[in-house]
């Protein structure tokens, strides 16, 4: 043991001990695995992250319902086998109301009580105009209202700190978010963002627009800069120049890439905690190390390691 005195720096919230820190809510997003090998990684990641007491673990729904069976299978297994609450993502693109309702009833029968309700994107991609199915839900707000008629689900919806690429203006953006909350959603989870000011400004604007529901910060650790920047570009999230510069030239240096990714994400989440943010949703890409370390920075320890 060293004799170095331990002193606290109460000026930064992120440096306070877990007991002093406001209670943080964490959730972890997974995608349904396609192969046996990917499925093994899914369960390993879940096993590692589940003891961190997430509010829930969510499983995405492939574009146009392509993973419907796999999403249902994974969420019901998570509930049964890990004891962690699972949330199933659900989209309404390209399906009739009855087809979507059947999936919702399936979740209900499997004991899944949480849904992340989304419109989804046209099969041609996010840049293409959205055409609702003639007998389908028209948008996410309509879907939330439909889910509510089937059961008392805890519903989350999506929101966009940089505006949805199809929103004509901020007024339309917040009117749409308000409709989703008024239809029965309990919270909104943001699209990934890499500049905290965008998120903080978005929350301010939402409050000014009369939206009081929690706006959970969606955090995308940069596991692979090339992949994430392509994906971010497609969904209208910008990567600041300073972030891009930190990853420049690291394509063939995975070790440094991983260290830089950890540093960038750590800076992002600790700054958000310092600014009073208490709810985080991590896009895990079915990998645990980075998210596990970030949860630790936020004061989270595995349940069984506490005395
Ligand atoms: P909506 O809220 O319906 O709105 C989308 C756009 O349409 C907005 O610009 C809005 O202003 C406009 N709009 C909606 N209704 C009206 C109206 N009545 N009049 C005028 N304009 C309107 N996709 C998947 O395929 N699977 C997933 O599992 C998935 N998970 C996601 C999780 C999170 C946290 C996030 C942020 C996104 C996720 N997505 C997923 C992506 C999502 O499907 C797309 O971003 C999609 O383009 C919009 O979905 P939404 O639910 O936000 O749509």
Task: Over range 139-163, report the average pLDDT.
Answer: 98
Ligand 1 and 172: CB distance under 6 A: yes
Q: For ligand 1, what atom is nearest to the CA of residue 58?
A: 28
45 pocket-lining for ligand 1 (C-beta < 6 Å):
no
The two three-digit tokens of residue 50, written as one number: 């589940």
CB distance 211 to ligand 1 below 6 Å: no
Q: Is the pLDDT score of 66 beyond 90?
A: no
The residue whose C-alpha atom lies closest to atom 8 belonging to ligand 1 is 167
**Which one, of 299, 284, 261, lies nearest residue 47 by Cα?**
284
Q: Write down the catalytic residue from 20, 29, 162, 279.
A: 29
Q: Is 29 a catalytic residue?
A: yes
The answer, yes or no, to whether any atom of ligand 1 lies below 6 A from the CB of 92, is no
DSSP assignment of 166-214 equals T-SSHHHHHHHHHHHHHTT--EEEEPP-S-HHHHHHHHHHHHHTT--S-
Scan for tokens 């595995």, then name that residue: 302
Which residue owns the Cα nearest ligand 1 atom 14?
139
For residue 101, give the 3-state DSSP assignment: helix
Looking at the CA of residue 166, tell me the nearest atom of ligand 1.
Answer: 9
Cα 57 to ligand 1 centroid, rounded to whole Å? 20
Which atom of ligand 1 is nearest to 167's Cα? 9
Q: What gap in Å lies between CA 240 and CA 220, rounded to an integer?
A: 14
User: What is the pTM (predicted TM-score) of this model?
Assistant: 0.94
What is the share, in percent, of the chain residues with pLDDT greater than 70? 94
**Alpha carbon nearest to ligand 1 atom 49, residue:** 119
Question: Is the per-residue pLDDT at 101 higher than 50?
Answer: yes
What's the angle, vertex CA 192, arms to CA 115 and CA 266, rounded to 5?
115
Going from the Cα of 275 to the center of ligand 1, the distance in angstroms, rounded, reads 27
For the segment 188-216, the average pLDDT, to the nearest whole number, is 98
Q: How do residues 263-298 score in pLDDT, each as one tens digit?
A: 999 999 999 999 999 999 999 999 999 999 999 999
189 or 69: whose pLDDT is higher?
189
Q: What is the per-residue pLDDT for 80?
A: 87
């Amino acid at each position: 043991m060293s004799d170095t005195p331990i002193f606290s720096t109460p000026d930064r919230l992120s440096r306070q001990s877990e007991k002093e820190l406001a209670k943080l809510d964490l959730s972890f997003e997974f995608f349904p695995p396609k192969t046996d090998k990917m499925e093994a990684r899914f369960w390993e990641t879940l096993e590692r992250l589940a003891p961190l007491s997430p509010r829930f673990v969510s499983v995405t729904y492939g574009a146009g319902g392509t993973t419907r069976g796999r999403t249902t299978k994974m969420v019901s297994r998570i509930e049964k086998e890990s004891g962690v609450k699972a949330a199933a993502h659900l989209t309404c693109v390209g399906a009739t109301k009855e087809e979507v309702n059947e999936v919702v009833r399936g979740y209900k029968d499997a004991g899944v009580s949480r849904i992340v309700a989304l419109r989804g994107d046209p099969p041609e991609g996010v840049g293409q105009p959205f055409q609702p199915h003639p007998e389908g839900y028209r948008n996410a707000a309509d879907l939330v209202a439909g889910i509510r008629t089937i059961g008392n689900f805890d519903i989350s919806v999506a929101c966009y700190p940089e505006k949805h690429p199809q929103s004509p203006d901020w007024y339309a953006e917040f009117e749409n978010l308000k409709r989703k909350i008024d239809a029965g959603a309990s919270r909104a989870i943001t699209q990934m963002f890499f500049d905290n000011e965008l998120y903080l400004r978005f929350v301010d604007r939402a409050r000014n627009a009369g939206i009081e529901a929690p706006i959970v910060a969606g955090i995308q650790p940069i596991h692979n800069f090339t992949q994430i920047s392509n994906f971010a570009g497609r969904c209208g999230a910008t990567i600041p120049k300073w972030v891009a510069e930190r990853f420049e030239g690291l394509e063939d240096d995975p070790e440094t890439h991983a260290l830089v990714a950890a540093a960038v994400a750590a800076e992002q989440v600790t700054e958000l905690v310092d600014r009073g943010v208490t709810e985080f949703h991590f896009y895990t890409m079915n990998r645990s190390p980075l998210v596990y370390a970030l949860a630790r920075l936020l004061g989270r320890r595995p349940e069984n390691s506490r005395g």
